[in-house]
């Protein structure tokens, strides 16, 4: 089945295919690295990761570009206040962003482009626009985009042109503008501010021109898909279209993919309300990275996601359920096969692919695997699951995990890293007992566990229950659970 995606440009679900052979060229607006990312930001990046993984699973090739916005007003202000360079200020948050991406199993795009590494390209684009009379230079050396020269303005967000005024993220500097709705392409430096020397003078780029210049540099004047959170639709993406299309005369991006916002307990996240969470905050409260990944990946991207702690807990038990199911399939099963299980695995694989092809319906996608797990567990409980049923069921599970990526247990190791970071950088932040325990279990190497498990089994055989129980408790305190299998062997796993 072909992939169908909602296209903001045109406001309808359409069949998506790359324009050039089998290679999907896509651009996603990246983070502004002035602070640690919050779970709302990562909702968007996880949704784009689901799209990425589905395209690859469907046999497409990818050239996915993401920018790092490492210059903006806040960054300039904060670095100046700390008497450090812009790069010195941003590098810590850029690294933190990549660490959080890894924590949430978000794959890296093929190309990552820093704004400050591409300033000459931005200046050249502005110069080109000025030569065409679409951009103009103000007395102070700033450049603005002349919206009156781009009749298509508003086509993405379907805004009524007459009512376009400064929105929340519109540049607020209005001096020297011919028209209030014209937006800044280049900002002349104020005294003491960081600046770059370019062929259009000194200053710094506006945020919108950054994405136009880098998208076209790495993907060409016209490409397949452009993504970002819903707040970027206007004015950011509208301005990207205006700058790029006014310059090239070609369609900038054919598909526009917007991810709806994440709310916390029904409210917009805000530091003053106290419902603002970074990924690290949640890990320090004792929540597993895989629970957050599961929660974010399972939410259909076009629906608002209401984040709740109950939801996070239930995501954690869902992951647990899948991991236990996998252990069950990997344990010895009686010889033979059950045709119903073979069929179930096949149907599930088909349902999962169809769910994602249907505008990335991640909820239906995961519902299919849980239905499979339910039916297979019921069969196993009544002795109707056999050795030859395991491979197809495991294949369906692998297809699921290729998108969700929650089966491999990296929770302890990631939590240990966040705990270490908090002790170093945030000694004032409270670390929960649960996080400390999970982190501690990471330091127990597999070899050491195997040794203790073997000792436990030997003690039990020798009917030294005092010793075998002591080992079981010792392991439990490090979050390692022992499971007695029907065939008499003992397996272990991290809780």
- Cβ closest to ligand AMP, residue 31 vs residue 203: 31
Cβ 309 to ligand AMP, closest distance in Å? 17
Cβ 42 to ligand AMP, closest distance in Å? 8
Cβ atoms of 454 and 482 closer than 8 Å: no
Stretches 52-60, 111-119, 204-212, 407-415: which one binds Zn ion (CB under 5 A)?
A: 204-212
- Contact footprint for ligand AMP (CB under 6 A): 29, 31-32, 40-41, 43-44, 69, 228-229, 231-232, 259, 261-262, 269
Cβ atoms of 407 and 323 closer than 8 Å: yes
Cβ 269 to ligand AMP, closest distance in Å? 6
Partner from ligand AMP, Zn ion, none binding residue 40, C-beta < 5-8 Å depending on class = ligand AMP
Cβ 64 to Zn ion, closest distance in Å? 14
- How many binding residues for Zn ion (CB under 5 A)? 2
Interatomic CA distance for residues 410 and 332, integer angstroms: 25
Q: What are the two backbone dihedrals, phi and then psi, of residue 411, each rounded to the nearest 5 degrees?
A: -60, -45
Interatomic CA distance for residues 217 and 213, integer angstroms: 6
Stretches 203-211, 366-374, 398-406, 476-484: which one binds Zn ion (CB under 5 A)?
A: 203-211
- Cβ closest to ligand AMP, residue 68 vs residue 369: 68
- Cβ closest to Zn ion, residue 25 vs residue 460: 25
Cβ 168 to Zn ion, closest distance in Å? 15
Residue nearest to ligand AMP (CB): 229
Structure tokens at 142: 């700033």
Q: Is residue 115 at the binding interface for Zn ion, with CB under 5 A as the rule?
A: no
Partner from Zn ion, ligand AMP, none binding residue 231, C-beta < 5-8 Å depending on class = ligand AMP
Query: Within 13 Å of residue 458, how many CA atoms lie on the same side as its CB?
Result: 6
Partner from Zn ion, ligand AMP, none binding residue 211, C-beta < 5-8 Å depending on class = Zn ion
Q: Is residue 29 at the binding interface for Zn ion, with CB under 5 A as the rule?
A: yes
SS3 of 140, please?
A: coil
DSSP 270-324: -TTTT---BHHHHHHTT--HHHHHHHHHTS-TTS-EEE-HHHHHHHHHHHHHHHH
For 390, which DSSP code?
A: H
Partner from ligand AMP, Zn ion, none binding residue 36, C-beta < 5-8 Å depending on class = none
Q: What are the two backbone dihedrals, phi and then psi, of residue 163, each rounded to the nearest 5 degrees?
A: -100, 5
- Cβ closest to Zn ion, residue 228 vs residue 300: 228
Long-range contacts of 415-421 (CB under 8 A, 24+ apart): 415/283, 415/288, 415/289, 415/439, 415/442, 416/440, 416/442, 416/443, 417/99, 418/103, 418/280, 418/283, 418/284, 419/284, 421/280
- Cβ closest to ligand AMP, residue 263 vs residue 457: 263
Cβ 264 to ligand AMP, closest distance in Å? 9
Cβ 29 to Zn ion, closest distance in Å? 3
Interatomic CA distance for residues 274 and 276, integer angstroms: 6
Partner from Zn ion, ligand AMP, none binding residue 442, C-beta < 5-8 Å depending on class = none
Measured torsion, CA atoms of residues 300, 305, 311, 316, in degrees rounded to the nearest 10: 50
Interface with Zn ion by CB under 5 A: which residues?
29, 211
């Amino acid at each position: 089945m072909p992939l169908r995606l909602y296209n903001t440009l045109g406001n309808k679900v359409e069949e998506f295919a790359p324009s050039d052979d089998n290679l999907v060229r896509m651009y996603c607006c990246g983070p502004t690295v002035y602070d640690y990312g919050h779970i709302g930001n990562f909702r968007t990046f996880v949704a784009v990761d689901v799209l990425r993984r589905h395209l690859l699973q469907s046999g497409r090739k990818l050239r996915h570009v993401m920018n790092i916005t490492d210059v903006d007003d806040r960054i300039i202000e904060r670095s100046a206040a700390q008497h450090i360079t812009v790069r010195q200020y941003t590098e810590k948050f850029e690294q933190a962003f990549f660490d959080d991406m890894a924590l949430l199993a978000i794959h890296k795009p093929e190309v990552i482009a820093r704004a400050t590494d591409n300033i000459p390209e931005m200046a050249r684009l502005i110069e080109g626009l000025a030569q065409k009379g679409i951009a103009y230079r103000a007395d102070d050396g700033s450049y603005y985009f002349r919206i009156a020269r781009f009749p298509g303005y508003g086509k993405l967000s379907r805004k009524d042109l007459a009512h376009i005024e400064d929105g929340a993220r519109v540049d607020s500097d209005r001096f020297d503008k011919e028209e209030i709705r014209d937006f800044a392409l280049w900002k002349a430096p104020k005294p003491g501010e960081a600046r770059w020397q370019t062929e259009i003078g000194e200053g710094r780029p506006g945020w919108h021109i950054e994405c136009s210049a880098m998208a076209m540099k790495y993907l060409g004047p016209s490409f397949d898909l452009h993504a970002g959170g819903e707040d970027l639709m206007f004015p950011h993406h509208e301005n990207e279209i205006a700058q790029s299309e006014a310059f090239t005369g070609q369609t900038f991006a054919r598909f526009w993919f917007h991810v709806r916002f994440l709310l916390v307990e029904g409210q917009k996240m805000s530091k003053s309300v106290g419902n603002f969470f970074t990924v690290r905050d949640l890990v320090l409260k004792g929540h597993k990275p895989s629970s957050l990944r599961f929660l974010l990946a399972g939410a259909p991207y076009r629906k608002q996601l209401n984040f709740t702690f109950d939801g996070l807990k239930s995501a954690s038990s869902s992951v647990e359920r899948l991991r236990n199911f996998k252990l069950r399939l990997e344990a010895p099963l009686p010889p033979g096969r059950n045709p119903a299980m073979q069929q179930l695995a096949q149907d599930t694989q088909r349902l999962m692919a169809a769910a994602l092809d249907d505008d990335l319906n991640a909820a239906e996608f995961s519902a299919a695997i849980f239905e499979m797990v339910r039916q297979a567990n019921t069969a196993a409980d009544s002795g109707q699951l056999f050795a030859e049923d395991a491979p197809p069921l495991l294949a369906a599970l692998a297809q699921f995990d290729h998108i969700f990526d929650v089966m491999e247990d990296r929770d302890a190791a990631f939590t240990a890293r966040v705990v270490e970071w908090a002790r170093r950088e945030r000694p004032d932040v409270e670390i929960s007992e649960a996080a400390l325990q999970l982190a501690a279990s990471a330091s127990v190497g597999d070899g050491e566990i195997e040794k203790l498990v073997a000792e436990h089994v030997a003690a039990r055989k020798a009917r030294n229950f005092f010793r075998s129980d002591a080992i079981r408790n010792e392991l439990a305190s490090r979050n390692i659970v022992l499971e007695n299998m029907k065939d008499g062997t003992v397996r272990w796993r991290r809780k």
